[in-house]
């Protein structure tokens, strides 16, 4: 494993450091550990679209922590309960999907913070509070370590970009390419003028607010393009995608070798 930075995950995000991650769709702690040991800065456990369930969350968090990567969880929806069920086991950040407005972003971030700044439920007998070793009076100090990621994937989010970026606790505006392209009426057309204009608007909003621009891309070549544009929180592919593409390539090469024997 490569040597990790000594700065906290959130400090690195707020400093604008280029951070490379990937999505974990398989719900597998083994896959999570393999990806972590590969050197990714952060790994996103996808509870919205991935195959894993809440029961698979803790094993993946254990596996990721052992590698030094940071674990972010995409929750099923922007609700207090969903956020709590990801934070209490020790997620380092939350990605909230389907945010349509600054009010929605403010509410989502409130789920990550203890009172008086938020509405997160107070509990100390969980992993995030070191199973009671963090005193109740010290829980608010945990707020500053958590990374808030708001997905930009709807027309409402695009209309309210600047206000969303200005919400305290929003650290990353993360483009969901598939949903956003569909919302714009150009499904999968990432070179369409409407989509490119949306990308430019996200970059402008993050530059003005001091937040980080994030996006999911298909491969390393695409990552290079978006890093050059100014994106700093970049997810490249997924564990399921790596497995599928590698397996297909191996089968294709093996079958080509087999065919050469029968010609």
Say yes or no to pLDDT of 262 above 80.
no
Sign of CA dihedral 109, 112, 115, 120: positive
How confident is the model at residue 141, as a pLDDT? 85
Residue 150 sits in which domain range?
A: 9-262
Catalytically annotated residues: 49
Residue 50, domain member (yes or no): yes
pLDDT value at residue 7: 74
Q: How confident is the model at residue 2 (pLDDT cuts 50, 70, 90)?
A: low
pLDDT tens, residue by residue, 192-238? 999 999 999 999 999 999 999 999 999 999 999 999 999 999 999 99
Q: Would residue 104 count as lying in a domain? A: yes
**Residue of 2 and 152 predicted with greater confidence:** 152
pLDDT band at 48 (very low <50, low <70, confident <90, very high): very high
Q: Is the pLDDT of residue 160 over 80?
A: yes
The answer to whether residue 4 is domain-embedded is: no
Averaged confidence pLDDT in the chain: 95
Per DSSP, which regions of 56-194 are E strands?
70-74, 93-96, 147-152, 172-175
pTM here is 0.93
Region 58-86: mean pLDDT is: 97
Q: CB neighbours of 114 closer than 8 A, spacing ≥ 6?
A: 120, 122, 139, 140, 142, 143
What is the mean predicted confidence (pLDDT) over 43-57?
96
What CATH number is attached to the domain comprising 217? 3.20.20.60
| Integer angstrom CA distances of residue 144 from 14, 114, 212 | 11, 11, 16
* 2 within a domain of the structure (yes/no): no
Q: Is residue 3 part of a domain?
A: no
Q: Give the chain's domain count.
A: 1
Inside any domain, residue 21 = yes
**Does 222 map to a domain?**
yes
Per-residue pLDDT at 5 exceeds 80: no
Residue 155 within a domain: yes
- pLDDT at position 3, please? 57
């Amino acid at each position: 494993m490569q040597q990790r930075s000594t700065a906290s995950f959130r400090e690195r995000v707020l400093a604008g450091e280029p951070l490379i991650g990937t999505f974990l769709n398989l719900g597998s702690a083994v896959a999570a550990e393999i990806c972590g040991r590969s050197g990714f800065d952060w790994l996103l456990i996808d509870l919205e679209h991935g195959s894993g369930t809440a029961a698979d969350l803790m094993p993946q968090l254990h596996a990721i922590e052992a590698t030094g990567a940071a674990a972010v969880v995409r929750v099923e929806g922007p609700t207090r309960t969903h956020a709590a069920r990801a934070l209490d086991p020790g997620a380092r950040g939350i990605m909230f999907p389907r945010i349509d407005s600054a009010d929605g972003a403010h509410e989502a971030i409130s789920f990550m913070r203890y009172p008086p700044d938020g509405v997160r439920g107070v509990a100390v007998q969980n992993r995030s509070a070191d199973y009671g070793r963090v005193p109740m009076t010290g829980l608010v100090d945990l707020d500053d370590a958590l990374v808030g990621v708001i997905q930009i994937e709807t027309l409402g989010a695009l209309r309210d970009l600047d206000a969303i970026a200005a919400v305290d606790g929003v650290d990353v505006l993360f483009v969901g390419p598939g949903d956003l392209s569909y919302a714009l009426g150009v499904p999968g057309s990432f070179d369409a003028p409407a989509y490119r204009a949306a990308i430019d608007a996200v970059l402008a909003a993050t530059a003005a607010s001091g937040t980080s621009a994030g996006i999911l891309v298909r491969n390393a070549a695409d990552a290079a393009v978006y890093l050059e544009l100014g994106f700093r929180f970049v997810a490249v592919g997924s564990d399921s995608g790596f497995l599928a593409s590698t397996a297909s390539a191996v089968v294709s090469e093996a079958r080509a070798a087999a065919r050469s024997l029968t010609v």
